[in-house]
Amino acid sequence: MGRIHTDLALEAKEKFEEDQVEIRGVVIQEDYNEAKDIRTTVVKIETENGAKAMGRPQGVYITLEAPNLSVPDEDYHREISKELAKHMRQLIPIKKDMNVLVIGLGNREITPDALGPEVVSNLRITRHIIREYGVQGMGEECAHSVSSLVPGVMAQTGMETMEIVRGVAEEVRPDVIIAIDALAARSVKRLNRTIQITDTGIHPGSGVGNHRTGLNEGTLGVKVIGIGVPTVVDAATIVHDSMAHLLDTLEEAEKKEFLEEMIAPSLYSMFVTPKDVDETMKRLSYTISEGLNLAFAKGEA
């Protein structure tokens, strides 16, 4: 697979299906809601062996594919927000008056990497109100405490995102951390219309920007839910996949060498985005924020 990269567990799975390989330790459930046109795929990586094969940690990876997600339609997005909220409440053992810290990863200056900061900007933040006036200050009997941070990227801060989040988590002591990030997909068809939710957090090499140390229960000492939307495909991936069809008749060894040669190094610093990426980014982040707002609307378990 070499340098060709996807952040979607769904796409890692598909790769094996193409090769007609079955992977032990990986359980897959699919569901299609025709009325809403949402396809849900749950990939559970249950063993160390499965994790190795899939190239990502053990845990649950939920993918919502909603082709119309990138189309402006307020009501439809509401459906997606609700689906997202539902899955969040299943992944997180919701209890009364939870303390939730949301991290908006990525670089707000680069549009396809700005999903995290954009999501956070739409969130209903409550922690400071609850601390000042109590849960009653929210006009509710119970209320989750929601705080958020946009840490920036290493080139801006000089710090690993993980260092910043760990320091802040030490102060805030959240029950759960939710990390939002823009992802790289392998298929152009999935850009801006797929949401991945996982209880494994964010792992190294994810995202549009540079590699980073993982945000997960191991590094932060608290459960980390990762929510991501693929917003880019590597230019190299696109060339790779187009050519792979052609090469089906060549020998394996030749094929690999050939592909490595054919992809110009300059392609690795490019990315491919839909032409309407700026508008799309706004809509997507709104949908995700609403999903989180719904999930934590009231402080009840």
Q: Contact residues for its own copies (CB under 8 A)?
A: 109-111, 120-121, 125-129, 145-152, 154-160, 163-164, 166-172, 188-189, 208, 233, 235, 238-239, 242-243, 245-246, 262-264, 266-267, 269-279
- The full DSSP string for 157-204 is HSS-HHHHHHHHHHHH--SEEEEEEEEEES-GGGTTSEEEEETT-B-T
Nearer to its own copies, 190 or 203 (CB): 190
What is the closest distance, in whole angstroms, from the C-beta atom of residue 163 to its own copies in the complex?
Answer: 4
Please, what is the minimum distance in Å from the beta carbon of residue 258 to its own copies? 8
- Letter for the amino acid at 255? K
Minimum distance between the CB of residue 85 and its own copies, rounded to whole angstroms? 19
Question: Which two tokens mark 74?
Answer: 């307020």
Residue that the structure tokens 């919701």 belong to: 94
Q: How far is the CB of 75 from its own copies (least distance, A)?
A: 14
Closest CA to 180 of 90, 119, 126, 240: 119
Nearest distance, CB of residue 269 and its own copies, angstroms: 6
Q: Which is nearer to its own copies, 71 or 270 (CB)?
A: 270
Nearer to its own copies, 152 or 201 (CB): 152
Measured N-to-C along each axis, helices 235-246 and 252-262 cross at an angle, to the nearest 10 degrees, of 140
The pairing of beta strand 145-149 with beta strand 176-185: unpaired
Residues 222, 174 contacting (CB under 8 angstroms) = yes
Contacting residues for 34 by C-beta, under 8 A, at least 6 apart: none
What six digits make up the tokens of 252? 């394996």
Instruction: Name which of 3 and 128 has its Cβ closer to its own copies.
Output: 128
Our CB check for its own copies shows the closer of 42 and 100 to be 100
Nearer to its own copies, 222 or 243 (CB): 243
**The amino acid at 234:** D
Pairing of strands 99-104, 176-185: parallel
Nearest to 29 by CA among 9, 56, 51: 9
Whichever of 270 and 297 has its CB closer to its own copies, that residue is: 270
Least CB distance to its own copies at residue 93 (A): 22
